[in-house]
């Protein structure tokens, strides 16, 4: 329990709801000691009666009143001397009924010093906070403005509108999750009535087991519902926490820490470089924080130091002008210059050590001066009965790339599929729509191959087996004198992406336009132990609606470290805004990647299809290749395993787009005697409308 409390304090969490039951009283001792607010909730939940229309719900049955009262009485009498407890909760998801009102009246009579909470009765006539769960952004904004739907009873409605609002659950931390926290925080900050919310939940409840057979026999994994022969179970729905079963922080916890940081930092470089510090503290100033700056060019340090920030009072803002020398350093650089400012714990306090990072902000002060890689000298396409050759690249008769220097390559193919996340599988079910469209079973066909002097033009079409959705692709290959092979990919959706399920997902019979999980290309590379060094967002995985914790810089990870071990395998490991990277094998071969516009990169020892088929981490076995995805965009993560889908701005629709890639082997086995150096350069052109 102490480990849990310390992790919460280190990740900016300031409150705990003890969801559905009072905790061990020693947990409240720790909350008293370290400083966590607690909504103490009695052990009451009857929402199974919702399955039968709330018929005979105990909350409304007088015969159950003494049992209801017994539960709240025992909680209040046991815990009322804990200063960490700021609210008594009558439970949640129990429908409506006079037994709940009786509980609230007893608690208020016994202890008038604390607020009363209950979620489930939206009249809220007997509580002190208006509590909701999994409210979408549109409705939450209406609640913040006081423009939400009225209740039948005018008196109850007036009472409810005067209450502060708390989301007792608002983001579901299941699998690769949760997305959209930034949008919630923006509303919490905008409307004084909105007082924040609680993520469901703290820990994945997997049970440690060992694989009994298969290539990973003896290796450990976390089991879940159905793994022990039980007939009725919830599958992996118990793996919905911010920490893994071994209490290792998940990417979701790091994202949450960034979203709820008690200070918001922003950098402006309009007229000089200015740091703005906005305090979200309610009772203390920022004198307990120290501030540092770091200036980097393409991830290499140029300089750093401290920033003197006067104490900022609670809920106030301060602006500090940074040293003009910073601008001078940035102006002399030729690469991309990024300024990072961090807020750190100044002294040890409440289990958080001095130097621990509380919040950070970044700003690109100067973009890289791009160098054009023109082809003053052309390299002609060599045609033979066996196929084509262009510099170091060898193609078969269908124009499919077979080898790049000494690297055997699986031809780049359009990729519209990802192993569904738990949120993709939730309600309303984007993954269902994607499978209905057949995006998990594309078949690829070469339409035409043309050799035009120094260009090899390959036209292909990829269609879903048994469906009408697909993508047309034009690949234009050319070679540069320095050994690079350039690939220009133009993707154009074809066929029909509209389905009845898509109409349901958009809540409109008139809108049937389907979405896609990803849009990019997949390339097969040699397998084996390899490392990825990259300059982009990291160090952990990040997605379009979950990147608050990611920072722009240089990062390094092995292929194994790039994978996030979710209890139930699913899409993971994406790194966004990658400007350049390098894949290096233990054999000495290397592939460098530069992308001035930034691309999404994943690198795995198995395909998305294998990831989709796996049910536990021990089901995943390297297949002898590394699979590199270069994606223009992904569908957002959202929270649909038990909450709202990705917000419209983070959805991905089929759209015409292009990708520019330069490929070359660097080091390792010799190619064919020609210059063995170069880069893999990728830059996305075009965009998706989200």
pLDDT bin (cut points 50, 70, 90) of residue 323 is confident
Mean predicted confidence (pLDDT) in 307-323 = 96
The 10 Å Cβ neighbour count of residue 640 is 27
Active-site residue, selected from the candidate residues 41, 119, 169, 336: 169
pLDDT over threshold 90, residue 681: no
Number of folded domains in the chain?
3
pLDDT for 689 equals: 28
pLDDT over threshold 60, residue 375: no
| 69, part of any domain | yes
Domain boundary among 302, 336, 366: 366
Token duo for residue 347: 């002294």
Domain boundary among 366, 393, 409: 366
> pTM of the predicted model, to two decimals?
0.93
Q: Are 366 and 334 in contact (CB under 8 A)?
A: no
Do 412 and 523 reside in the same domain of the chain?
Answer: yes
Do 286 and 219 reside in the same domain of the chain?
Answer: no
Q: Is residue 169 among the annotated active site residues?
A: yes
* CATH number reported for the structural domain that contains residue 490 in this entry: 2.70.98.10
* CATH number reported for the structural domain that contains residue 57 in this entry: 3.20.20.80
Do 22 and 154 reside in the same domain of the chain?
Answer: yes
Do 340 and 445 reside in the same domain of the chain?
Answer: no
| 552, part of any domain | yes
Do 42 and 146 reside in the same domain of the chain?
Answer: yes
What is the b/e burial string over 280-313, where b = at least 16 CB atoms within 10 angstroms of the residue's CB? bbeeeebebbbbbbbbbbbbeebeeeebebeebe
User: pLDDT above 90 covers what percent of the chain?
Assistant: 81
Mean predicted confidence (pLDDT) in 22-37 = 97
pLDDT for 598 equals: 87
pLDDT for 680 equals: 37
Q: Which has the higher per-residue pLDDT, 112 or 662? A: 112
Do 81 and 169 reside in the same domain of the chain?
Answer: yes
| 256, part of any domain | no
Domain boundary among 249, 279, 312: 249
Q: Which has the higher per-residue pLDDT, 152 or 295? A: 295
pLDDT digits (tens, 9 = 90+) for 135-162: 999 999 999 999 998 888 899 999 999 9
| 149, part of any domain | yes
The 10 Å Cβ neighbour count of residue 466 is 8
Distance CA 663, CA 486 (A): 6
pLDDT digits (tens, 9 = 90+) for 330-344: 888 889 999 999 999
Q: Are 448 and 558 in contact (CB under 8 A)?
A: no
Q: How far is CA 270 from the centre of its chain?
A: 31
Helix-then-strand count for the chain, H and E: 14, 35
Closest C-alpha among 585, 390, 590, 399 to residue 483: 390
| 274, part of any domain | yes
Closest C-alpha among 338, 346, 272, 356 to residue 309: 346
Of 233-242, 258-267, 371-380, 675-684, which range is least confident?
675-684
Active-site residue, selected from the candidate residues 93, 185, 336, 484: 93
Distance CA 92, CA 110 (A): 21
Do 64 and 190 reside in the same domain of the chain?
Answer: yes
Distance CA 182, CA 547 (A): 9
| 371, part of any domain | no
SS3 453: coil
pLDDT digits (tens, 9 = 90+) for 404-418: 888 899 988 999 999
Do 232 and 290 reside in the same domain of the chain?
Answer: no
| 373, part of any domain | no
SS3 420: coil
pLDDT for 672 equals: 39
Distance CA 424, CA 433 (A): 10
Distance CA 683, CA 1 (A): 48
| 376, part of any domain | no
Q: Are 71 and 24 in contact (CB under 8 A)?
A: no
Q: Measured between alpha carbons, how far is residue 156 from residues 59, 492, 629 in Å?
A: 19, 55, 55
C-alpha dihedral sign at 76, 159, 181, 120:
positive
Range of the domain at 322: 261-366
Computed over its alpha carbons, how large is the radius of gyration of the chain?
28
pLDDT for 677 equals: 33
Do 410 and 525 reside in the same domain of the chain?
Answer: yes
Q: How far is CA 43 from the centre of its chain?
A: 32
Do 245 and 266 reside in the same domain of the chain?
Answer: no
pLDDT digits (tens, 9 = 90+) for 601-653: 999 999 999 999 999 999 999 999 999 999 999 999 999 999 999 999 999 99
Do 396 and 428 reside in the same domain of the chain?
Answer: yes
Average pLDDT, the chain: 91
pLDDT for 685 equals: 35
pLDDT over threshold 60, residue 321: yes
pLDDT for 348 equals: 96
Show Cβ contacts of residue 289 under 8 Å, excluding neighbours closer than 6 positions.
Answer: 263, 309, 343, 344, 345, 346, 358
Distance CA 130, CA 95 (A): 15
pLDDT for 686 equals: 34
pLDDT digits (tens, 9 = 90+) for 364-373: 998 887 555 5
- Measured CA angle at 531 (ends 528, 537), to 5 deg: 140
Do 315 and 457 reside in the same domain of the chain?
Answer: no
Q: Are 620 and 649 in contact (CB under 8 A)?
A: no
* CATH number reported for the structural domain that contains residue 272 in this entry: 2.60.40.10
């Amino acid at each position: 329990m102490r480990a849990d409390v310390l992790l919460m304090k280190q990740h900016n969490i300031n409150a705990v709801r003890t969801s559905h039951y009072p905790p061990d009283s020693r947990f409240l001792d720790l909350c008293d000691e370290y400083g966590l607010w607690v909504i103490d909730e009695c052990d009451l939940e009857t929402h199974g009666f919702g399955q039968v229309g709330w018929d005979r719900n105990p909350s409304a049955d007088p015969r159950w009143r003494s049992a209801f009262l017994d539960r709240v009485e025992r909680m209040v009498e046991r815990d009322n001397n804990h200063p960490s407890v700021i609210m008594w909760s009558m439970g949640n998801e129990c429908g409506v009924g006079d037994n709940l009102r009786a509980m609230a009246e007893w608690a208020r009579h016994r202890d008038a010093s604390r607020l009363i909470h209950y979620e489930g009765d939206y009249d809220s006539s007997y509580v002190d906070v208006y509590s909701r769960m999994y409210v979408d952004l549109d409705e939450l904004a209406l609640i913040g403005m006081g423009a939400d739907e009225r209740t039948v009873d005018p008196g109850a409605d007036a009472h409810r509108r005067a209450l502060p609002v708390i989301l007792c659950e608002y983001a579901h931390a299941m699998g690769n999750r949760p997305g959209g926290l930034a949008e919630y925080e923006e509303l919490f900050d905008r409307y004084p009535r909105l007082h924040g919310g609680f993520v469901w939940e703290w820990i994945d409840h997997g049970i440690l087991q060992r694989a009994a057979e298969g290539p990973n026999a003896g290796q450990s994994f976390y089991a879940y519902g159905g793994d022990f022969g039980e007939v009725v179970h919830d599958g992996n729905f118990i793996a919905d926490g911010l920490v893994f079963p071994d209490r290792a922080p998940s990417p979701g916890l790091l994202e949450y820490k960034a979203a709820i940081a008690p200070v918001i930092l922003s950098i402006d470089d309009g007229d000089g470089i200015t740091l703005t510090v906005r305090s979200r503290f309610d009772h203390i100033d920022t004198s307990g924080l120290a501030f540092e700056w770091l200036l980097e060019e393409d991830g290499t340090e140029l300089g750093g130091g401290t920033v003197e920030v006067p104490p900022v009072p609670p809920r106030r803002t301060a602006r500090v002008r940074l040293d003009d020398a910073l601008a001078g350093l940035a102006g002399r650089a030729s690469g991309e210059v990024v300024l990072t400012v961090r807020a750190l714990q100044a002294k040890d306090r409440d289990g958080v050590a001095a130097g621990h990072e509380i919040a950070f902000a970044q700003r690109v002060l100067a973009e890289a001066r791009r160098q054009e890689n023109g082809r003053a000298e052309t390299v002609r396409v060599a045609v033979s009965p066996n196929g084509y050759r262009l510099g170091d690249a060898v193609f078969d008769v269908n124009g499919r790339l077979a080898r790049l220097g000494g690297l055997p390559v699986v031809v780049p193919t359009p990729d519209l599929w990802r192993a569904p996340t738990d949120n993709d599988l939730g309600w309303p079910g984007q993954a269902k729509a994607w499978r209905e469209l057949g995006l998990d079973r594309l078949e690829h066909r070469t339409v035409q191959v043309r050799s035009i002097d120094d260009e090899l033009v390959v036209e292909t079409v990829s269609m879903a087996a048994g469906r009408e959705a697909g993508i047309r692709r034009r690949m234009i290959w050319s070679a540069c004198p320095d050994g690079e092979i350039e690939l220009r990919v133009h993707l154009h959706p074809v066929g029909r992406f509209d389905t009845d399920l898509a109409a349901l997902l958009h809540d409109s019979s008139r809108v049937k336009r389907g979405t896609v999980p990803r849009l990019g290309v997949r390339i097969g590379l040699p397998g084996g132990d390899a490392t990825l060094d990259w300059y982009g967002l990291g160090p952990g995985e990040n997605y379009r609606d979950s990147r608050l914790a990611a920072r722009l810089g240089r990062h390094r990870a092995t292929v194994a470290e790039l994978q996030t071990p979710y209890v139930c395998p699913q899409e993971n490991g994406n790194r966004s805004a990658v400007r350049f990277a390098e894949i290096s094998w233990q054999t000495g071969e290397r592939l460098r990647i530069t992308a001035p516009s930034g691309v999404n990169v994943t690198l795995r020892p198995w395909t998305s299809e294998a990831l989709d088929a796996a049910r536990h981490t021990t089901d995943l076995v390297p297949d002898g290749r590394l699979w590199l995805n270069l994606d223009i965009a992904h569908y957002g993560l959202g929270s649909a395993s038990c909450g709202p889908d990705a917000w419209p701005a983070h959805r991905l629709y089929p759209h015409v787009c292009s990708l520019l890639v330069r490929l070359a082997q660097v080091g390792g086995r010799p190619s064919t005697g020609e210059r063995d150096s170069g880069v893999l350069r990728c830059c996305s052109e075009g965009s998706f409308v989200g």
